[in-house]
Amino acid sequence: MTSRTDRRRLALPLASLVLLSAAAVGAPWIVSVPPNAIPTDGIIASMPPSLAHPFGTDSLGRDVLSRVLHGARISLAIALLSVALSTSLGAAYGAFAGWIGGRVDTVCMRLLDVALSVPRLLVLLVVAALWGALPNGSLVLLLGLTGWYDVARLVRGDVRALREREFVLAARATGVREARILLRHVVPHVWPTLVVTATLAVAHTIALEAGLSFLGLGVQPPQASWGTILADGFTPGGARWWLTVFPGVAIVTVVLACNALGDALREALSPRQVAA
Amino acid sequence: MTRHLLTVHDLRVAFATEAGPARAVDGVSFTMNAGETVGLVGESGCGKSLTALSLLRLVPDGGRIAPGSRITFEEQDVLAMPERTLRALRGHRLSMIFQEPMTALNPVLTVGDQVAEVVRVHTTASAGEAWTRAVDMLAQVGIPDPAARARQYPHELSGGMRQRVMIAMALILEPALVIADEPTTALDVTIQAQILELLRDLRDRTGMALLLITHDLGVVAEMASRVLVMYAGEVVEEAPVALLFDAPGHPYTEGLLAAVPTLDSTRERLHTIPGTVPAATAWPAGCRFRDRCAHAWERCTTEPPALAQLGPAHRVRCHLVQEPERRRA
Amino acid sequence: MSASESGASRRWRALRRILQALFVVWGAATAAFILLRLAPGDPYATQIDELPIPAEARAAWRAERALDAPLATQYVRWLGNVARGNLGWSTLAERPVADVLVNVLPRTLALMGIALLTSLAGGMLLGAWQGTRAGSTGDQAVSATTLVLYSLPEFWLAMLLLQLFAHGLDWLPATGLVSADYDYLPFRAQVRDRLAHFVLPWLTLSLLGVSVFARFQRSSMLEAWREPFVRTARAKGLAERGVRWHAWRTSLVPVLGVAGLVFPSLVSGAVFVERVFAWPGMGYTTVQAVGARDYEFVTAAVVTGSAMTVIGSLLVDGLLRLADPRVRA
């Protein structure tokens, strides 16, 4: 049951995400300059925005608009894929622990406590230190493998609560197979949690990937990602604003849209909606 | 004519809802004298709790007391008084006991603090004095080892003990009028009797007036001298308690009486009245009870009955008062 | 229910909590060890194998660090060293890791601690203010602001503040712990210099922290605001301030619960912020160590970071116990 205000709160963030994704997919057709093209005739230096380069150029004279749009493809792809991975992992782990219950559940949760107390960024830093620059595929894997703990915990809580509910007990009592109960009763109840946490996780992962790339440990130059453009613009003498503002605004737009969408979804999908 | 302690005149409370305004309390008038116990009965949703909350101007968000309503308490106009005066009144001269003693008490403060707070807000007593008075009051409401109990939190007390704390809080400053909103509904039957007993004792000792809100006519029979019956936002019958039980005038009251539980039986309420209270957004035209009434005829669908005098202290909102021959056997 | 009995169970619970914390730190140390050995070759491959030294020297070097021993032996050795506070040798600083930590860790702890306190204080005030006037223009404006702040990556906000306050307005120093001429300054100027360098890292973390806590405090306050005990507080005659205090006091419980979960993000926030402001704390040093492939420092950082998280949540647990009598048992 989505009311009008709910729909309005969903529409704006969704629209901005769709728009940005479209711009990312259509990047090669929107801008004519390739993201890594270093001018052969022009100036190999960072210039402020002009008609030829609406977002300016970076320190190698590359077009920032093109880099931001092409960077969107990489940043969005990495975030979406790794969140898909972490959400499935977390859902599987949480559902397993919650459904089995008992000692298995206790052990699973203690392990999760350990995992949750190791700050994720530090794990990423260690891996970066040990293996050096990672290809984007490994980056997706790494972000996915370190991002599933919260989902697992939430799903486990949901599943545990469901296990005790009458309709599940009734299904069990009438001899319905476990797999079928999981599919028919548990999955429909858990998916709102998954949708909301996945949306918020995309926001978080976009920011995290940008941060890693900013530190030089994520997407590797010369590839354009929002983090690498920011890193290029960040020099001790003060940033050139167009290198900070444009990719930064792109990041914030996605993160903000995902957070707002997550909030709105949580309210729209919440089972205990209060009638006004 | 003696001055009344409380006069409620044409009280109307409405809520704005998506389905239009809900007139939850719709023209309620009554009076109370000092020291008197009045029962206010009716099914849930009839507006009795809201009437009580209005007396303290505690109508929940979204609700509004309509202009033209008047509440006079100790000769002061409650609805017109400034916030400050109102606060001085609340908990001091006019206090309230709520239904659910678990949620009505703050879970993270000791019960002693919560009782003492009333003293500290309304008097110049020091923290120490207020605490001593609170412990003293807890003893008066029958809490054993009150000095130790005062340091405990609501979750550490039983339901009955919590309700005693609520009562201590409401009565510590000996108000002139106490409103008790279903004070025993959330409790076990045996505890209910104890709490009622306590309320009666304290009333007799302090001489306070008591407005007892309940859906339980058994409670009313034990406690009240006069009864107001509410239905669909209106008072439908008002009578001294003996008269009401002997010769109810309104078919709704008859229905209620047919379902009176005794304290030792399991509580089945109102099963003799078919149907439910209509929605406050769409009161039926004519008599609001007519769809559930065994005696209803054409007049009931068109003309809303007025509260008519049936005896000296007996008023009934029913066309049967004028046309008793319409009553079916 | 004697006092000594509950005291014993309380001690037992505290002990269990501490054992759990130790288990978590052990787990983190094990994870760090596994990561270290998962790397291609051994962690010293690039350091040693590229040097033009005889193979025997290499082997001797490895034997000295027991890298040729079975994995289990290495693991036990590693745990023993960690437990004794011997965290290895920092190739970047050319000092024992523990020595470097003694230098940089207090800075980061101060930064995180002070930022956490400001975040909690600011967030609680802001959220509580919003919670009592939900839906108003002011609430919506603050909600929008905190949502945007909440969505800013730490390093980007740090860059913006750096650009604005250091490069643009030139009010505050851009980078470092102290100015170059720090040693030549009189004491008071030294203090001011240190504080000036502290402002921007602190401000960045605090702005983000305030937005996190304000969001939680708002929803928690909103929930508390609807609780019946708020009505009770009003009925007692409390002024709005007192009523808000009742709700706020209760709403703290879930907010403190959240505070126990923010430590990991506080750690990563410190890493980014210290990096942008070149503020040589734990985070900045870790990033440098990653760049220099200083494995032992980086693994020590993981163990330290986890320990900080665990100790932080232990502290929050203690606070929670103070705030909520229901978990005290």
- Provide DSSP, C240-258: HHHHHHHHHHHHHHHHHHH
Contacts of A207 (CB under 8 A, 6+ apart): A251, A255, C153
Assign B188 to helix, strand or coil.
Answer: coil
In C, which residues are within 8 Å of A119 by CB distance? 263-265, 267-268, 302, 305-306, 309
Residues 86-115 on B with a CB inside 8 Å of C are 87-92, 95-96, 98, 100, 103-110
**pLDDT exceeds cutoff 80 at A78:** yes
A234 touching C (Cβ < 8 Å): yes
- Print the domain residue range for C233: 103-328
Position A23: which residue type? A
Confidence label for B1 from pLDDT (cuts 50, 70 and 90): very low
Contacts of B309 (CB under 8 A, 6+ apart): B315
Per-residue pLDDT, B329: 66
- CB contact (8 A) between residue C167 and residue A217: no
In A, which residues are within 8 Å of C144 by CB distance? none
> How many CA within 13 A on the CB side of residue A127?
18
Q: Which two tokens stand for residue A148?
A: 């599933």
- CB contact (8 A) between residue C326 and residue B121: no
Q: Which two tokens stand for residue A147?
A: 């991002």
- CB contact (8 A) between residue A210 and residue C153: yes
B162 touching C (Cβ < 8 Å): no
C302 touching A (Cβ < 8 Å): yes
In this structure, of A123-137, A255-269, B122-136, C63-77, the range with the lowest mean pLDDT score is C63-77
Q: Residue A132: inside a domain, yes or no?
A: yes
Could you tell me the pTM of the whole model?
Answer: 0.83
Structural domains in chain C (count)? 1
A176 touching C (Cβ < 8 Å): no
Closest residue of chain A to C40, computed from CA coordinates: A131
Position A41: which residue type? D
- CB contact (8 A) between residue C35 and residue A217: no
Q: Residue A214: inside a domain, yes or no?
A: yes
The CATH architecture one would assign to domain B6-93+176-271 is: 3-Layer(aba) Sandwich (3.40)
C329 touching B (Cβ < 8 Å): no
Residues 57-116 on A with a CB inside 8 Å of C are 110-111, 113-116
Q: What is the pLDDT of residues A226-235, one digit of tens each?
A: 888 888 888 7
Angstroms from A197 CA to nearest CA on chain C: 15
**pLDDT exceeds cutoff 50 at C258:** yes
Per-residue pLDDT, C1: 40
In A, which residues are within 8 Å of C271 by CB distance? 121-122, 125
Contacts of C197 (CB under 8 A, 6+ apart): C172, C173, C176, C177, C178, C179, C277, C279
Q: Which two tokens stand for residue A47?
A: 């210039």
- CB contact (8 A) between residue B91 and residue C236: yes
Confidence label for B165 from pLDDT (cuts 50, 70 and 90): very high
Closest residue of chain C to B105, computed from CA coordinates: C229
Residues 228-247 on C with a CB inside 8 Å of B are 228-229, 231-239, 242, 246
- CB contact (8 A) between residue B107 and residue C250: yes
Q: In whole angstroms, how far apart are CA B10 and each of B31, B44, B56, B69, C274?
A: 11, 21, 16, 5, 68
**pLDDT exceeds cutoff 60 at C24:** yes
Q: What would the mean pLDDT of C317-321 be, rounded to a whole number? A: 85
Q: Residue A56: inside a domain, yes or no?
A: no
- CB contact (8 A) between residue B90 and residue C237: yes
Confidence label for C6 from pLDDT (cuts 50, 70 and 90): low
H helical segments located in chain B: 48-55, 83-89, 111-122, 127-140, 146-149, 159-171, 189-206, 217-223, 241-246, 251-258, 298-302
Q: How far apart are CA C186 and CA C191, in angstroms?
A: 9
Per-residue exposure over C315-325, b if at least 16 CB sit within 10 Å of its own CB, e if not: ebbeebbebbb
What ipTM does this complex have? 0.87
- CB contact (8 A) between residue C293 and residue A129: yes
Q: Residue C63: inside a domain, yes or no?
A: no
Angstroms from C268 CA to nearest CA on chain A: 6
Q: How far apart are CA C224 and CA C125, in angstroms?
A: 15
Disruptive mutation site among C18, C36, C156 for chain A (greatest number of A CBs within 10 Å): C156
Q: Residue C170: inside a domain, yes or no?
A: yes
The residues pairing with B25 across neighbouring beta strands, listed in sequence order, are B13
Q: Residue A102: inside a domain, yes or no?
A: yes
Assign B317 to helix, strand or coil.
Answer: strand
Assign B77 to helix, strand or coil.
Answer: strand
Angstroms from C250 CA to nearest CA on chain B: 6
Q: How far apart are CA A87 and CA A110, in angstroms?
A: 20
Contacts of A248 (CB under 8 A, 6+ apart): A226, A230, C153, C156, C159, C160
* Closest by Cα among B171, B167, B168, B169 to B183: B167
> How many CA within 13 A on the CB side of residue B243?
18
Disruptive mutation site among C37, C155, C167, C223 for chain A (greatest number of A CBs within 10 Å): C155
Q: How far apart are CA B66 and CA C303, in angstroms?
A: 65
Confidence label for C242 from pLDDT (cuts 50, 70 and 90): very high
| A125 closest CB neighbour out of C27, C38, C298 | C298
Assign B240 to helix, strand or coil.
Answer: strand
Q: How far apart are CA A250 and CA A244, in angstroms?
A: 10
- CB contact (8 A) between residue C174 and residue A251: no
Question: Which CATH number goes with the domain that contains A223?
Answer: 1.10.3720.10
In B, which residues are within 8 Å of C239 by CB distance? 87, 121
In this structure, of A267-271, B91-95, C11-15, C141-145, the range with the lowest mean pLDDT score is A267-271
Q: Report the share of chain C in percent with pLDDT over 90.
A: 32
Phi, psi of A234 (to 5 degrees): -95, 105
> How many CA within 13 A on the CB side of residue B196?
25
Structural domains in chain A (count)? 1
